[in-house]
Structure 1
C-alpha cells in the first residue's frame, strides 16, 4: 500500500479510535486510545495499520465512519465506478477499508497515480532550476552591459570637461584683446588733448603737430582695425568651437541613447561644488531638534537631498489609517513640498510591510522606493546616504534613534518625523 494511502487510512482509524467505547476498543490499541488525538496517528501508525489489516471488525467500523463522511465516494466504489474528480489517495483509502470488488486494483492505480504525480513534480522542479540559471546568466550579461555604458559615459564627461577648458581659454584671450584696444583708445584721447593744448604755438609748430597728429590717428585707426579683426577672428573661433561642442554632445547623446536630462542623485549622483553650503552650515546649537525653523533652514540649502523614512513618519502622524492611505497622504504632502522648496525628495518604504505588488503614483519631484526582500527600509536609507558625493547636503527624516545616529556619522543631518509633519500641516 502506498505511503500516502497508509497515512490516510491510519489517520481515519485514529479518529474513529477516539470515539469508540472502551469495551469495544481492540486490545492492542487500548493504550493508544488514551493518547491525544493528534498523537495517535503520528506515534502509533504501525500498530493501527496492523490492527486494520488483521481485525476485520475494526476495519469495517472505520469503513462505516468513512461511509458516513464520504457516502458518494463509497457508493460509487461499491458500484464499480470511480468519481472523476476524486483524489487517488482518498479513492485508495476508501477501497482498502470498504473492500469493494477489485479493491486491490484501485490501490495499485492510486500507487501509479502518486508515482506519476511525483515524476511530474520532479520534472517541474528541474525546469524551474534551468529557468533560474538562464535568468542568472541574463542578469550577469545585463550588468556587464551597464558597466560598459558607464565607462563610455565617463569618457564622454572627460572629453566635455576638456572642451569647456578650451572654451574658457578662448574667452580669456578675447577679454585680453578688448583690454588692449581700450588702452590704445585711451592713448589716442591723450594725444588729442596734447594737440589742442598746443594750439597757440607757431604755425610751423602747429603744422608739425598736425602732421604728428595725423600720423597718430592713422596708427590708432590701424590699431582699431587690427583689434576689430582680431576680435572677429576670436569670435569666429569661439562660435566654431561651441558648434563643434554642441554637435559632439548631440552625437554622443544619440549614440548612447541618453535621456534629455541627466538623472538626479540616487540614479546618477551629480557632484556638488566645494563652495556650496552643506548641512553643517545650519547651526547645531542655535536651534533645538524639535524647532520648526530647523527644517526650514535645511530646505533653504541649495541642492539639498531630503530622504524620508516613510512608515516612520506616517505611523507617527496618522497610524489609524491603512498602509495604502498612509502612503497616499504622505506622498501628496511631499509632492506639494517639492514644488514649494524645489529640493530633491526621496521617500523610502519598507517592502516587508507589503502583502504583494502595489500601484504607487509618485508625485512630480518625489522619488518613491521600497526596500527589496530581505532588506529593511533603514538599510536602504543608509545606502542612499552613502551613495551621495562628499559635501552634498543630505537630510534624513526619521525618529528612529538608530537610523539617526548612523546617518549622522555618514555626514547627513537627521530630522525628527514630527518636524516634517508640522511642515506638511502648515503647507
Structure 2
C-alpha cells in the first residue's frame, strides 16, 4: 500500500464516503480501547448506528490523517473483499465490481494509481446518476403525458356536458318565454275583469245607498216586533212559573201526607227506630280481634265510572264487594294484608261520600286463623268460614236480601257474576270500583 505524494483534489463522492465511514465505525467498535485514536474514543462508546450517524465527520477526518487507523480499516475490508483488494493492488479493476466498493477499497488500501481509481469510480457514479436522472425524467414525462391525455378526455367530457346543459337551458328559456306570454295574457284578462268588477261594485254601492233608507225603516219595524215578542215571552214565562209553583205545592202536600202516614204506621206496628240489616244475619267470620291495622293507600286513577255512579244513586242500595277479586285486579303485587287495607280505606272514603251500605267479603278458607282487620266506619267486613269460599258467602248475602231491593255485586269472576244476576243482583266489574275509588 502506498500514498506517497498522492491526494484527492476533490472530496470523496458522498456514497463512497458513507460506505467508508460505516465500515470504519464497525471497526472502531471492535478495536481495543487503547488502540482507538484519542479523537474517536468518545464516539467508540456509542452504539454502532449512532457512531456512523453522529461521528461521521470525525471518523472521515481521522481516516484522512491517521494512516494506522486507515490501514486497520483496510485490513477488515481486505478480509471481506480479498479478490477486489488483490486486483487493485495489481492495478487491475474487476469489470463487474461496483464503483462504490472500488473507490472505497482504493481509498483505504492506497494502491498505486488509487487517485485515478477513485476518480474513475466518481465518473461511473456520475454517469449512473445521470442515467437514473434521465430515466426519472422520462418517467415524469410519461406521467405528464398520461395526465395530459386524461385531462383532455375530461375536458371533452366536460365540454359535452356543458353543451347538453346549454341545450337544456335554451329549451327551458323557450318554455319560460311561452309561460311569460301566457302569464301576461292572463294578467290583461284579470285587469279587464277587475275593471268590470269595479263597475259592478260602484253600481252595487249606488243601489245600497238607495236602499239604505228603506232598510232602516224595515229595521225599526223589526225591532218593534222583537220588543213585542220579548214582552209576550216574559208574560208566558211568568204564567208558567206561577203554574209550576201551584203544582209543586200540590206534590209537597201529598209527600207530607205520605210521610205522616208512614210515621203513623211505624208507631202502630211498634217498629224499632234502628233495625238490623239482612246482611248482618249471614254467618261468617268477622274481624275484630287485635292484630293487623288498616294502612290507607292511594288507589289507581282512571275515568269516572258512570255505571257505578248510577247504581250508587239508587235509594237503599246494598253494594257487596268480592274483596280479593278487586285487590288482585288492581294491586295484586302487594301482600294480602296490604291489599285488604288499601281496599278498605277506599271503601271507607266511598261510604263517607255516598252513605251506601257496603259489605266487603274476603276468602278466609285458607287462613290459619281469624285475620284481625280495622274496618272503616260504615263498611261491613266479612271472612268466609273454614270450608267455605268467599263466592258462597256472597251468594248467601244476596239471598238474605228482600226481593225488590237494589243489590250490586262487585266481582270480575264470571261464575259469581252469572249466579248473582240470576238471583236478581246487578254484577259490576272490579275495574269500575277501582276507578271510582281512585276518583274518591
Specify the TM-score bucket, using the shorter chain as the normaliser: 0.3 to 0.5
Q: TM-score, normalised by structure 2?
A: 0.34
Larger relative contact order (CA 8 Å, sep ≥ 6): 2
Q: For the pair shown, which has the larger CA radius of gyration, 1 or 2?
A: 2
